[in-house]
Amino acid sequence: MTTPTRQDALRLDRDDPIGWLRNEFVIDDPELIYLDGNSLGRLPRRTEAALGRLIRDEWGNDLIAGWDRWVDLPRSVGELLAREFLGAEQGEVVVADSTSVNLYRLSSAALGARPDRRVVLAVAEEFPTDRYILEGLAADRGLEVRFLESDPVEGLGVGRLADALRAAEDAGGVAVVVLSHLNYRSGALESMPEMTAEVHAAGALMVWDCSHSIGSVPIDLGASGADLAVGCTYKYMNGGPGAPAFLYVRRSLQGTLSQPVWGWFGQRDQFAMGPRYDPVDDIGRFLVGTPPVPGLVGIRESASLLAEAGIGALRAKGIALTELAITLADDWLGPHGFMVGSPRDSARRGSHVSLRHPDAWQISQAARAAKVVGDFRAPDSLRLGFAPAYTRFVDVWDALDRLRAVVATGDHLRYDGALGRVT
Amino acid sequence: MTTPTRQDALRLDRDDPIGWLRNEFVIDDPELIYLDGNSLGRLPRRTEAALGRLIRDEWGNDLIAGWDRWVDLPRSVGELLAREFLGAEQGEVVVADSTSVNLYRLSSAALGARPDRRVVLAVAEEFPTDRYILEGLAADRGLEVRFLESDPVEGLGVGRLADALRAAEDAGGVAVVVLSHLNYRSGALESMPEMTAEVHAAGALMVWDCSHSIGSVPIDLGASGADLAVGCTYKYMNGGPGAPAFLYVRRSLQGTLSQPVWGWFGQRDQFAMGPRYDPVDDIGRFLVGTPPVPGLVGIRESASLLAEAGIGALRAKGIALTELAITLADDWLGPHGFMVGSPRDSARRGSHVSLRHPDAWQISQAARAAKVVGDFRAPDSLRLGFAPAYTRFVDVWDALDRLRAVVATGDHLRYDGALGRVT
């Protein structure tokens, strides 16, 4: 197969059914190729407008009366995510607090529902905050967290999970399994229905972290049987820096699970300010404090925009973009010592691609100087996120071409010293 | 003493050394008298500008590189609050998460430091979320929360607290006391140094909730001996709807207290993404997840503005405003069945005044129709917040005059039915 040309890439853009989406985003510098939308998504134009109205008109002029509308945002934005991106039902998703705080609350609730079991399973390559949250919960309760080894490219897989569930039986059994739907480094996608079924067969509860998949890969929490889920909204969902996270609780569990942070936004008849905590009967009982309104508005705007394209079309384009990237990486970067650190089967891969190289940090710096913004993930990954909403095929071609030039000329070798801070 | 005239009020405004501050806020409707800044503070003009830049330029254009600056906001905004409003030292305050979540985390840490004690003390009239959070913590740990009766106008006071500390000795001793510095309903101010001393004498830890005092009353956490504190930033601090809360941990306790939510923003060398939770040695260990950037920028802008006036000048004006309000309430509203529900000693009162009346809800509705926005707090309080940054003396005069007209004409009697939702 011949290597795709820049003309091929331009043709793919012309034929792209969701090519119009890019124009809905603020893009100041046409030379900059932004491949970090999996870390901080771009600003949709409608979000800029909506936040302007929120601040100037709603806060500035409506003042306290703004809360008549704002108070429902955690639920209404949750419904939007549930319907368009999560395969969840009405009343199963709310948006509030950070991913870390939500993971703490839901994992704590899940552990409370399996009081006689002693083991929590997670992946050693899991995103750090998930691991730390579980460590803290386990330390407080005298439980054991087993961090499972996964394949650095292909992920954990059902087989390793099943083995670990069985192996834990002697140690008191598994209470809760926490897994990322999509690995933050390699982009490997785990099978939500198959793994959830294994976890349930072992009598444990399943918590999915969808931070790196929501907005790029269709998620069907309902059909998968997932018990609980959390996820980030400022990556592919473009909610803005520090936008709050979603949480999902299967309806059948809402009456039995108790989350530990009992706040007034979960209270029945909140403004009666009654003497004792008496949470509502539905997903609202998983709310705690006053929600961050600008972040919620940011999510609402971007989610409504992405919903116009549809997650199916976004997914199809994400696959096509990453296929092109991998083809070019093999042809152009392989000879310079790069290895593709992401699954080659597109059904098992999200919308970002990891390229491994011993000089990955230096290359990431030189790439930025060449206006290709990806990110470095220790120890040796250059992570390139191809957000389907605003990344063109020609961007993929140009980015890989610039990377080729960097390593061909050795431009990256002028960088050294301590690792830079990369978010 | 004769009742102050409108001319008197206008003269006070002319002589007001911080009268210039009002012009720094967005005020669209000059007829509207906004007395709910103790619930949601007004929008400073510089905040509107800064949020515009944050969204359009920093998020829209700097993209991921924005985090180079944003990542320090929880600490730098914390330092600003510490220095200008809280009497705390560098490295004792950070801003992140909601007041409820912060209260949960700090109270949990405090309980962990007193594992042999069985009782938590709080006030029965405490703001609801504080009570619910403590109920949840106690339920999880098999502890007892004792909700102390306080005077509905004057607050708890040192004597009642000392009695309760002694009374709890037989029941296993008090682990933690959680108190609001300023009561959300009556505006009663508790004595932070005296009460903290009593709590320490009993061997317990003291957690202050400064939600209703920060920005209106000088706070000296350092000199008071307080162990821990939390507080809201969207009331007198004008951080915007749902802006994150601050938390304070006395430096000497930072090494020994362990908060339960172990997140990656507390990690040493965060982006090394190391295998185990290894928190930094300082206040940063009380950070958890990705912070909500727009809220932090809102707090930074308003805090820098208020700092130009100084908390001393804000406090002096707050006292003068509430003195005028109480004088007019006595003269004009007393005959219509109102009782002042706030301390008459200004040293014991914050910047809001509670007026109690059996028809308080109806009156609050009629007042809104007359463009006087206060709020109703069940069961019988009309709460009027006189935010010193933008409330004029003539606003106080006009507001009380309009309330007088409402009750004199019985205009409020056309409202009835179920209580409206008021935030």
We report the CATH number of the domain holding residue B365 as 3.90.1150.10
Antiparallel, parallel or unpaired: β A205-209 and B33-34 = unpaired
Measured distance CA(A119)–CA(A161) in Å, rounded: 13
Among B289, B307, B325, the domain boundary falls at: B307
Name the residue among B340, B399, B392 with its Cα closest to residue B368: B399
| Residue A373 parent element (H or E) | strand A372-373
Q: What is the mean pLDDT of residues A236-249?
A: 98
Q: Is the pLDDT of residue A414 over 60?
A: yes
Instruction: Give the structural domain span for A231.
Output: 71-307
Whether the Cβ atoms of residue B359 and residue B35 lie closer than 8 Å to each other: no
Q: Are residues A232 and A87 in the same domain?
A: yes
Among A278, A307, A336, the domain boundary falls at: A307
Q: Evaluate whether residue B1 is within a structural domain.
A: no
Q: Taking the C-alpha atoms of B232, B236, B241 and B243 in order, what is their torsion angle to the nearest 10 degrees?
A: -40
Measured distance CA(B358)–CA(B151) in Å, rounded: 19
Name the residue among B353, B356, B368 with its Cα closest to residue B415: B368
Q: Are residues B18 and B107 in the same domain?
A: no
Q: Are residues B279 and B330 in the same domain?
A: no
Number of folded domains that form chain A: 2
For helices B157-167 and B192-201, the axis angle rounded to 10 degrees is 10
Write down the residue that tokens 């503005």 correspond to.
B305
Handedness of CA A317, A318, A319, A323 (dihedral sign): positive
Whether the Cβ atoms of residue A340 and residue A399 lie closer than 8 Å to each other: no
Whether the Cβ atoms of residue A400 and residue A353 lie closer than 8 Å to each other: no
The CATH number of residue B136's host domain is 3.40.640.10
Q: Are residues A90 and A231 in the same domain?
A: yes
For residue B378, give the nearest of A266, A273, A378 by CB distance.
A273
Q: Are residues B129 and B261 in the same domain?
A: yes
Q: Are residues B237 and B366 in the same domain?
A: no
Two tokens, residue B7: 């001319």
Q: Evaluate whether residue A65 is within a structural domain.
A: no
Whether the Cβ atoms of residue A108 and residue B104 lie closer than 8 Å to each other: no
> Running DSSP on this structure, what letter comes out for residue B285?
G
Nearest-CA distance from A364 to chain B in Å?
Answer: 13
B124 inside 8 A of chain A by CB? yes
Q: Evaluate whether residue B63 is within a structural domain.
A: no
Whether the Cβ atoms of residue A146 and residue A164 lie closer than 8 Å to each other: yes
pLDDT band at A378 (very low <50, low <70, confident <90, very high): confident
Give the pLDDT confidence of B225-235 residue by residue, as tens digits: 999 999 999 99
B128 inside 8 A of chain A by CB? yes
Beta strands in A191-271 (DSSP E): 205-209, 228-231, 246-249
Q: Are residues B346 and B301 in the same domain?
A: no
Two tokens, residue B53: 């830049």
**Cβ neighbours of B292 in A, within 8 Å:** 242-244, 292, 294-295
Give the pLDDT confidence of A87-141 residue by residue, as tens digits: 999 999 999 999 999 999 999 999 999 999 999 999 999 999 999 999 999 999 9
Q: Say whether B158 sits in a helix, a strand or coil.
A: helix
Q: Evaluate whether residue A59 is within a structural domain.
A: no
Q: What is the mean pLDDT of residues A224-252?
A: 98
Give the pLDDT confidence of A60-98 residue by residue, as tens digits: 999 999 999 999 999 999 999 999 999 999 999 999 999
Residues of B serving a catalytic function are 127, 209, 234-235, 383
Q: Are residues A245 and A359 in the same domain?
A: no
Count chain A–chain B contacts defined by CB atoms under 8 A: 277
For residue B291, give the nearest of A68, A242, A276 by CB distance.
A242
**Chain length of chain A:** 423
pLDDT score of B378 = 85
Measured distance CA(A81)–CA(A75) in Å, rounded: 10
For helices A6-14 and A311-328, the axis angle rounded to 10 degrees is 180
Q: Evaluate whether residue A420 is within a structural domain.
A: no
Catalytic residue among A127, A386, A390, A393: A127
Measured distance CA(B107)–CA(B10) in Å, rounded: 46
Measured distance CA(A185)–CA(A154) in Å, rounded: 11
* Overall pTM surpassing 0.80 (yes/no): yes
pLDDT score of A36 = 97
Q: Evaluate whether residue A230 is within a structural domain.
A: yes
Handedness of CA A161, A162, A166, A167 (dihedral sign): negative
**Cβ neighbours of B379 in A, within 8 Å:** none
B281 inside 8 A of chain A by CB? no
Q: Are residues A407 and A377 in the same domain?
A: yes
Q: Are residues A300 and A202 in the same domain?
A: yes
Measured distance CA(B326)–CA(A280) in Å, rounded: 39
Q: Evaluate whether residue B419 is within a structural domain.
A: no
Write down the residue that tokens 């961050």 correspond to.
A292
| Per-position pLDDT tens, chain B of length 423 | 799 999 999 999 999 999 999 999 999 999 999 999 999 999 999 999 999 999 999 999 999 999 999 999 999 999 999 999 999 999 999 999 999 999 999 999 999 999 999 999 999 999 999 999 999 999 999 999 999 999 999 999 999 999 999 999 988 899 999 999 999 999 999 999 999 999 999 999 999 999 999 999 999 999 999 999 999 999 999 999 999 999 999 999 999 999 999 999 999 988 888 889 999 999 999 999 999 999 999 999 999 999 999 999 999 999 999 999 999 999 999 999 999 999 999 999 999 999 999 999 999 999 999 999 999 988 899 999 999 999 999 999 999 999 999 999 999 999 874 554 333
pLDDT score of B269 = 87
pLDDT score of A420 = 46
B274 inside 8 A of chain A by CB? yes
Q: Are residues B75 and B135 in the same domain?
A: yes
Q: Which residues contact A61 (CB under 8 A, 6 or more apart)?
A: B26, B28, B29
Two tokens, residue B3: 């009742």
Q: Which residues contact B120 (CB under 8 A, 6 or more apart)?
A: B107, B111, B134, B137, B138, B143, B144, B145, B146, B174, B175, B176, B177, B178
Nearest-CA distance from B337 to chain A in Å?
Answer: 23
| Residue A397 parent element (H or E) | helix A393-409
Long-range Cβ pairs for the range B408-417 (8 Å, 24+): B408/B336, B411/B366, B411/B369, B411/B370, B412/B359, B412/B362, B412/B363, B412/B365, B412/B366, B412/B367, B413/B359, B413/B362, B414/B366, B415/B361, B415/B362, B415/B365, B415/B366, B416/B362
Q: Is the pLDDT of residue A423 over 60?
A: no
Residue A39 and residue B64: Cβ atoms within 8 Å? yes
Q: Are residues B198 and B213 in the same domain?
A: yes
**Cβ neighbours of A147 in B, within 8 Å:** 275
Among B307, B333, B352, the domain boundary falls at: B307
CB within 8 Å of chain A, chain B residues 372-411:
373, 375, 377-378
pLDDT score of B421 = 37
Residue B294 and residue A241: Cβ atoms within 8 Å? yes
- CA dist list (Å): B233 to A214, B107, B364, B379: 31, 19, 25, 26
**Cβ neighbours of B243 in A, within 8 Å:** 292
Catalytic residue among A285, A300, A383, A392: A383
Q: Is the pLDDT of residue A296 over 50?
A: yes
Whether the Cβ atoms of residue B361 and residue B419 lie closer than 8 Å to each other: yes
Verify whether residue A235 is a known catalytic residue: yes
Q: Evaluate whether residue B140 is within a structural domain.
A: yes
Q: Say whether A329 sits in a helix, a strand or coil.
A: helix
**Cβ neighbours of A421 in B, within 8 Å:** 68, 71, 271
